[in-house]
Amino acid sequence: MRHSAGLLAALLVALGVGCASPNGPPYPEVAASAAALAPGQARLVLYRTLYTEIQTLHPELTVDGTAVGALPEGTFLWLDEAAGPHVLDAPLVPSYKAFGAQMPTRPVTVDLAPGTTTYVNVDVEAGTGAVIISLTLVDRARALNDLASLEQAPPVTAGD
């Protein structure tokens, strides 16, 4: 019996159960502790569920041409931006060729109203010899359901 318990513990460690995640805190924790938005600001939440086709590809995202981070599967990015229109994109990344040629992403323009939160789902699909990254505005109810089990993605740091 003791041998079985040791084997189970080794298996749990190998699977990463009980280990700290390389990502940040879960969405509900981030949302609960979030500071109020400053006047003239809006919140933008970009997320990728656990159920996307190409799991090891982490799409790199930009807002108005500025890199904001990459989304591993099951993560989100939380951004406070000035209210007004912003262009979201996932620029072509040459290293994605291992997955097939990356097709250009159709940029999405979001008009962020002051004091609001806008949610965008990022999906990664495999086409015939191609990678397709799509950006889709989603309503609050769907987004909160999707985000309930997601963790915060690492932000872009200086020098990235």
Domain boundaries, the chain: 23-152
Write b or e for each residue in 132-146: b if 16 or more Cβ atoms lie within 10 A of its Cβ, otherwise e.
bbebeebeeeebbeb
Cα angle value 68/131/60 (rounded, 5°): 10
* Tens digit of pLDDT at every position of the chain (160 positions): 434 333 333 333 333 344 445 678 999 999 999 999 999 999 999 999 987 666 667 889 999 999 999 999 999 999 999 999 999 999 887 666 555 677 889 999 999 999 999 999 999 887 777 788 899 999 999 999 999 999 999 866 555 4
Its CATH class, for the domain covering 23-152, is mainly beta
